[in-house]
Structure 1
């Protein structure tokens, strides 16, 4: 059986990995002022955006996921011919419309695929399953990496689906933002009042950086530390301890809102890489997606992995 895997463009995995493993992308459009960019996980394009004056207006940007008809057309044009079963793995539905759009599109696809497949010489059924990662950014990458591994091992759709749905419940994403004012302005633009001006001003004045956690569709702070570098050090040291304690998949994903060499020079980065090497954990590093950077600002650091329930610290 030919099994396809599709992610949305907020999934922070290296573009070379996605291409070499034939992982498709559902793009997201970003509108800033009069300019519209489509996020296809092109790191050069993302960095060009970061270094342009447009990035200064990112807090007021509008992110536009593929609509139901666009997703339907994408699948009917290629995927229903190239594959027999497709897993569409999305950002958490609590933060984006992508999951719901893909779910709605799946009903139309399953009603309309037969003539398309028949014309291509395929008379067998087609199946599509939409999976909510219940997470964001680099933490989204854990599930498609596992799907690729299971597909390569010859596992069938039923086993892959059960594994991914269980893994989503045990995937954690931790992020340290660099600019609280940006987070506050972005939240305000989207109608989210959870980050007040006072909190942003106080945090900036005292150089307090939160560590934010994504888990089971919920996002919120789990620690507040003084200084960006100390916060990143604490995050990387914590991640190294989780690696040493044992992860549920041999995968750790990192993303950064900027040049990756900047992240690699941060405190405790080398120690985290060493801990992963000791445990045979594969590390995936990528520039944060354009969509992600618009939402949390440049310079943010995020780490994702699957593990048993735990507390940050």
Structure 2
């Protein structure tokens, strides 16, 4: 059975990984004033967004996840012809409607795929399974990474789905933003009350940064530090401890809203890299999606991994 993957663009993964595993990306349209960006994880489009230096204008951006009709088109014109089973992984349904769009599209896809396959001379049935990673940005990476390992091992679809659900329920996504004022402005634009004005004012005045966590679809602060570099050191140090304690999936994803070369110059990152090498864990570096930068600001760091339940200690 030929099995493949499709993800939405807000899942942070390296371009090399996407190409290696032939992973389809469902794009997100981003509009800022009169400018339009197609967030489909292509490096050149991400770089174009960074080069435009839109700054605070970005918080007023309008984002449109891949609509139902476009999901149907992607599957019926391409994926149902190339694969016999596709796992479609999205960022958490609590933060984006893309999971709902894919589920709605699946009804028409499963109803009409036979005609598309018959016309192309492709025999046999087609299956698709929609998986909510219950996380955002780099936090969605562990489930997708695990899916590629299971597909390579030729595991049956039912076993893959069960395992991916388990990984999603144990995936942790941590984020360190640079600009609390930006974060609050964007949250206000989306009617998200997770970042208050007082915290933004205090954070900027004292250079205090929150460390945010997404776990099982819920996002909120789990710590605070003074200064971005101190925050990076605390975050990477914490992830280093989790790596040495053991992970459910042997990978950590670090994404950055800008030039990836910045990562290795942040305090604590080289120690994290060393721990991953010693423990046989892959450390994937990925550019943050345009959608991610629009929502949390450029220069933010997110880190994702899957581990047994634990209490965040910062």
Fold match by TM threshold 0.5: yes
1:135 and 1:215 in contact (8 A); partners too: yes
The structural deviation recorded for 1:276 is 0.4
After superposition, what is the alpha-carbon deviation per residue over 1:138-190, rounded to whole angstroms, capped at 9, x for unaligned?
11111111111111112121111111011100000001000000000000111
Asked if the contact 2:93–2:100 (Cα under 8 Å) also holds between the matched residues in 1, the reply is yes
Specify the SS of the correspondent of 1:187: helix
1:1-313 correspondence to structure 2 within 5 Å: 1-313=1-313
- Superposed CA deviations along residues 192-249 of structure 1, whole A, max 9, x for unmatched, are 2332222211111011100000000000000011111111100000000000000001
CA–CA distance in structure 2, aligned partners of residues 174 and 24 of structure 1: 25
Measured after TM superposition, the shift of residue 111 of structure 1 is 0.6
Do the aligned partners of 1:59 and 1:294 also contact (CA within 8 Å) in 2? yes
Contact 2:92 2:136 in 1 (8 A): yes
1:238-292 Cα offsets, whole Å, 9 max, x none, are 0000000000011110000111111110001010001000110011101111110
Q: Distance in 2 between matches of 1:81 and 1:55?
A: 42
* 8 Å contact from structure 1 (residues 135, 171) kept in 2: yes
| Contact 1:76/1:113 (<8 A) preserved | yes
The answer to whether the 8 A contact 1:49-1:55 is kept is no
Cα distance, 1:312 vs. partner? Answer: 1.5
Quote how far apart the aligned CAs of 1:306 are: 0.3
- How many residues of Structure 1 are paired with residues of Structure 2 in the alignment? 313
- Cα distance between partner residues in 2 of 1:128 and 1:150: 16
Q: TM-score, normalised by structure 2?
A: 0.98
SS state of the match for residue 130, structure 1? strand
Taking structure 1 as the reference length, the TM-score comes to 0.98
Residue 16 of structure 1: how far off its partner (Å): 1.6
- Aligned partners of 2:106 and 2:234: how far apart in 1? 42
Of 295-304 and 42-51, deviating more is 42-51
Measure the CA separation in 2 of the matches of 1:149 and 1:278.
21
**Which stretch has the larger CA shift, 74-83 or 52-61?**
52-61
User: Higher mean Cα deviation, 187-196 or 280-289?
Assistant: 187-196
**How far apart, in 2, do the equivalents of 1:64 and 1:174 lie?**
24
SS in structure 1 of the partner of residue 54 of structure 2 = helix
Q: Give the deviation of 1:53 after TM superposition.
A: 3.7
RMSD: 1.0
